[in-house]
Amino acid sequence: MINLESLRSNPALLKLDLYCKGIRMDDSCFIEEDGGRKIMRTRAGLGSGLEAILPGELWTNIPVSEPFAQSSPFTLHREKGKYMVRLEGADVMPVKLSPRPHWYDEATATGKPMTRIGTLQGTYLGVYQAKVCEYWTQKPMKTNCKFCSVGLNLGVDDADDKSVEEVMEVIRAARRESGITYVDFNTGHYTGDTYLDILEPYILRIKKELGLLVGVQTPPHRDLKRYDHLREIGVNRVSFCFEIFDRKIFEEICPGKHTEYGLDYYLEAIRYCATLGSKGPADEPWLANGEIIAGLEPAESSIAAIDWITSVGAVPTVCVFRPLVGTDLEDAAPPETEEMIPVFRRLYEACMERGLPIGVAPGIHVSLVMLPDECRALSDKRYLWQSAKLGVMKRVFGRQYERKLRRVEEQHAAAGAA
Ligand code: SF4
């Protein structure tokens, strides 16, 4: 049962409850004046809220702008310069604001605000690359996913044209000042499956000059061999958002994805990519993700999706449905936390049962979703051997990766000086 005591002792439960209920900001809060990040509508409609850090280094993005958040039992207060989450007036937990770096207030050499090129989602840099997803411009009728706000956002928070130089400039600033270790590219659907061709020049430059981890979230390319090539050039993560496992609801909520690719092809791409780990450069880790949105279908269906994704060796990414203002589903209700707990508990347990490498990547905290390892606190199962193994992997990989980053940066600097 969720009550004040359970929330006080479990930041992961609070993170989940805040996704579902949002928070009201008391007049005492001065987010930007206190060094916090401006509230932006970014990333496929999931990151509309307040970026904050709960105890236990749980980075989160709390809904504040949507109507449902206006009736939340949670409020945020500022006292003596510190922030506190309260539930119906009672203190629950202190939170920190996710720091706003200086580069958030700077422009590229071409004069674009850097935050229109990329934004921090927790501690990594997210870049929505290229023009608006074509489902938003399709004639005679738009076929965009009904929860999505990308077509509403572009031109507001995101620049629609981002050159390689501009993106590199922002990545360098984010690496220098925010210490990012990972860059995530996200595109919509484009006729001719051009998304991977568009992204490749950016990926090659990042790998050559900075060596950072890079992820790619696009529709599933018709030629699956293209993912072998991504693996070869050092991409570290491919993610396929099929969103919904229930076929009928998938068709209804994601009409563009249904007509263009179909659910089965999304699943095939995940299955295929999950096999590529042993094929590429040994010093570049590889992960295939299947992404779903919990709260748009019955919890049992989300759990079935998690079980399917993990069964093929991929890691699920599970978002909590957020009815964003301006989207087709803006009047829908967000999910109940009680329904979400079994889904996120299963996320952790399924990954541990399958021995998947969760929580290993260095320095990555994600604000838009509950990561599988963050859901440990929702389960009473203990996987001692697997936990110990993941702890060792995290330490070893973290050390190797830092060395590699230094080497790549030094080599690039030396090549520039020569
Ligand atoms: S594929 Fe769907 S979720 Fe992704 S950008 Fe297009 S409309 Fe939005």
Do 322 and 148 touch, CB atoms closer than 8 A? no
Tell me the CA–centroid distance for residue 76 and ligand 1, in Å.
Answer: 32
Tell me the CA–centroid distance for residue 251 and ligand 1, in Å.
Answer: 13
- Of 158, 194, 276, give the one whose Cα is nearest residue 228: 276
Residue 415: pLDDT over 90: no
User: Which amino acid is located at 81 in the chain?
Assistant: G
Tell me the CA–centroid distance for residue 9 and ligand 1, in Å.
Answer: 37
pTM of the model: 0.94
Provide the token pair at 54: 């709960």
Computed over every residue of the chain, the mean pLDDT equals 93
Give yes or no for residue 103 CB within 6 A of ligand 1: no
Closest atom of ligand 1 to CA, residue 254: 2
Give yes or no for residue 188 CB within 6 A of ligand 1: yes
- Please indicate whether residue 47 or residue 2 has the higher confidence score (pLDDT): 2
Do 232 and 277 touch, CB atoms closer than 8 A? no
Own/partner pairs, 275-282, CB within 8 angstroms, 24+ separation = 275/313, 276/227, 276/228, 276/231, 277/313, 279/228, 279/231, 279/232, 280/231, 280/232, 280/234, 281/232, 281/234
- Please indicate whether residue 119 or residue 226 has the higher confidence score (pLDDT): 226
42-46, 119-123, 137-141, 288-292: which range is least confident on average?
42-46
- Residue 157 has what pLDDT? 52
Confidence of residue 38 (pLDDT cuts 50, 70, 90): confident
Tell me the CA–centroid distance for residue 67 and ligand 1, in Å.
Answer: 23
13-22, 63-72, 159-168: which range is least confident on average?
159-168
Confidence of residue 363 (pLDDT cuts 50, 70, 90): confident
Do 321 and 334 touch, CB atoms closer than 8 A? yes
φ/ψ of residue 34, rounded to 5 = -90, 15
Provide the token pair at 122: 């927790």
Give yes or no for residue 64 CB within 6 A of ligand 1: no
Confidence of residue 418 (pLDDT cuts 50, 70, 90): low
Q: What is the mean pLDDT of residues 73-85?
A: 96
Closest atom of ligand 1 to CA, residue 134: 6
pLDDT digits 0-9 by tens, 180-209: 999 999 999 999 999 999 999 999 999 999
Q: Whose CA is nearest to atom 1 of ligand 1?
A: 188
Q: Whose CA is nearest to atom 5 of ligand 1?
A: 188
Closest atom of ligand 1 to CA, residue 243: 3
Tell me the CA–centroid distance for residue 136 and ligand 1, in Å.
Answer: 8
Give yes or no for residue 148 CB within 6 A of ligand 1: yes
107 pairs with which residues across the strands?
113
pLDDT digits 0-9 by tens, 242-291: 999 999 999 999 999 999 999 999 999 999 999 999 998 988 999 999 99
Q: What is the mean pLDDT of residues 314-336?
A: 95
Give yes or no for residue 44 CB within 6 A of ligand 1: yes
135, 253, 258, 324: residue to mutate for ligand 1 pocket, most atoms within 8 A of CB: 135
Tell me the CA–centroid distance for residue 383 and ligand 1, in Å.
Answer: 37
CA atoms of 68 and 88, how far apart (whole Å): 16
Tell me the CA–centroid distance for residue 131 and ligand 1, in Å.
Answer: 12
Give yes or no for residue 145 CB within 6 A of ligand 1: yes
Give yes or no for residue 189 CB within 6 A of ligand 1: yes
Closest atom of ligand 1 to CA, residue 147: 3
- Residue 72 has what pLDDT? 98
Tell me the CA–centroid distance for residue 287 and ligand 1, in Å.
Answer: 22
Residue 230: pLDDT over 90: yes
Q: What is the mean pLDDT of residues 153-168?
A: 74
Q: What is the mean pLDDT of residues 368-392?
A: 96
Tell me the CA–centroid distance for residue 147 and ligand 1, in Å.
Answer: 9
Q: What is the mean pLDDT of residues 83-95?
A: 97
End-to-end Cα spacing for the chain: 64
Give yes or no for residue 150 CB within 6 A of ligand 1: yes
146, 186, 189: residue to mutate for ligand 1 pocket, most atoms within 8 A of CB: 189
